[in-house]
Amino acid sequence: MPVESEFTRLIPKIYRNNYEKLALFFFVKGQLQMLPTMGLKLAINNFRRFTGITEDEWDYNCMRTLYNNTQKEFIDLKYKNAITEKDKRTIKKQGFVS
């Protein structure tokens, strides 16, 4: 039987989501990590331009909400699956979880 990887154990719900949600989240997250001064709106518009999605097909507000919900889901799962109490304190200290 294969050993469960760290990735699938940490974020079991996220890797099963649909491709558009994952593509949006990781594309935008990557841009914001690489260019911290870039705003969320510009990162989402870059994703839209890269994929050829129009405003009529998927509007900005829906994309922003989906991105924020996915980020919250990722952070909640990361907190729940933290290995030690020290990890949990670090996550709380960074302001991700109340």
The mean pLDDT value of the chain amounts to 78
**Residue 98 is assigned to a structural domain of this protein:** no
Could you list the residue range(s) of the whole structural domain that residue 51 is in? 6-93
In order, the DSSP letters of 4-59 are PPHHHHH-TTGGGS-HHHHHHHHHHHHHHHH-TTS-HHHHHHHHHHHHT--TTTS-
- The string of pLDDT tens digits covering residues 25-36 is 999 999 998 998
**Residue 1 is assigned to a structural domain of this protein:** no
**More confident: 18 or 16:** 18
Task: Tell me: pLDDT of 4 over 80.
Answer: no
pLDDT, position 49: 93
Count up the domains in the chain and report the number: 1
